[in-house]
């Protein structure tokens, strides 16, 4: 009986998660922003496991993901950074080669992989071991043969770097950006690092789009990609953590010095 009840709850959960994404975006955002506790309460009643496999993604492009209700409700509802999703649909084409720096557990990686199709490729970088493991699972779950995974970070040098990682949540950030920590239960880990220029020199590939979401280390990633930015000039999606911070301003100034047109694409800081 317990197994039957669990199966029924999951079917109800999946039905709910398939119906909400087809609502108008404004309704979904209102629901998520104004009633997050109610949504979490319903989801936890239907699926008591804190980490589960669930439908995720925007309407019309749903896929399966291993995720956390509390941390990834927006993934499940299809409300995660809708402006970013729209820009990906605009700029990512079939056959493209895309870079995902700071892939986390793979939401954007999967969206890009589905856009580029079998003739394209996405390389996803994620340095945090628990995130990388989940990223692998999510890529494999969706049978994406056009995704290459790199268990390390893009940076301004080749070798290693130190990351401050939350022991309780799937987030990472560099020691210079600890102001963005979501809790105080943090540990420092060593991760391998490579510059984008070095990485690409070994592949011969030219990216058409590079997405950078690295919790405050975006300047380092850009500085390690100067040759690529000058010669290949890929489209860039860069999330600036602390847009008015010295590093944030330097990132924008660097891009403008390379004659990139810089504009604010969406909250909370993609340019």
**% of the chain exceeding 90 in pLDDT:** 55
In the chain, where are the structural domains located?
2-77, 82-257
User: What is the reported pLDDT for 253?
Assistant: 95
CATH fold of 82-257, please?
Rossmann fold (3.40.50)
Q: Would you report the helix, strand and coil content of the chain in percent, each value rounded to 5?
A: 45, 20, 35
At a CB cut-off of 8 Å and minimum separation 6, what does 121 contact? 97, 98, 146, 147, 148, 205
Using the structure block, give the residue that is written with the tokens 């749903």.
62
Residue range 58-97, pLDDT digits in tens: 988 999 999 988 788 899 888 998 999 999 999 999 999 9
Q: Is the dihedral of CA 89, 95, 101, 106 positive or negative?
A: positive
**pLDDT at position 251, please?**
93
pLDDT above 60 for 169: no
* Backbone φ, ψ for residue 229 (5° rounding): -65, -35
For residue 177, the model assigns a pLDDT of 37
What pLDDT score was predicted for residue 170? 45
More confident residue, 166 or 119: 119
For residue 109, the model assigns a pLDDT of 98
At residue 150 the predicted structure's pLDDT band, cuts being 50, 70 and 90, is very high
pTM attached to this predicted model: 0.86
Residue 271's pLDDT is: 60
Strands (E), the chain: 51-56, 63-68, 97-101, 121-125, 147-150, 153-154, 159-166, 172-173, 186-194, 209-212, 235-238
């Amino acid at each position: 009986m317990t197994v039957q009840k669990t199966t029924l709850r999951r079917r109800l959960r999946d039905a709910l998660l398939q119906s909400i994404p087809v609502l108008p975006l404004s309704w979904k955002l209102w629901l998520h922003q104004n009633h997050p506790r109610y949504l979490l309460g319903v989801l936890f009643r239907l699926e008591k496991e804190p980490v589960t496999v669930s439908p995720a993604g925007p309407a019309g492009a749903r896929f399966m993901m291993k995720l956390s209700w509390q941390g990834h409700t927006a993934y499940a509802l299809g409300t995660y950074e809708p402006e970013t999703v729209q820009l990906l649909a605009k700029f990512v084409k079939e056959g493209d080669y895309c870079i995902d720096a700071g892939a986390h557990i793979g939401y954007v990686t999967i969206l890009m992989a589905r856009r580029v199709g079998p003739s394209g490729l996405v390389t996803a970088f994620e340095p945090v071991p628990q995130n990388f493991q989940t990223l692998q699972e999510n890529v494999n779950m969706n049978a994406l043969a056009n995704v290459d995974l790199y268990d390390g970070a893009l940076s301004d040098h080749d070798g290693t770097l130190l990351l401050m990682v939350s022991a309780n949540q799937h987030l990472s950030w560099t020691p210079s950006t600890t102001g963005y920590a979501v809790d105080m239960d943090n540990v420092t880990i060593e991760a391998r690092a490579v510059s984008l220029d070095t990485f690409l020199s070994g592949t011969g590939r030219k990216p058409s789009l590079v997405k950078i979401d690295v919790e405050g280390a975006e300047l380092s990633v850009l500085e390690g990609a100067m040759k690529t930015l000058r010669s290949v000039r890929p489209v860039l999606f860069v999330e600036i953590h602390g847009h008015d911070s010295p590093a944030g301003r330097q990132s924008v100034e660097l891009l403008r010095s390379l004659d990139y047109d810089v504009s604010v694409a969406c909250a909370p800081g993609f340019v």
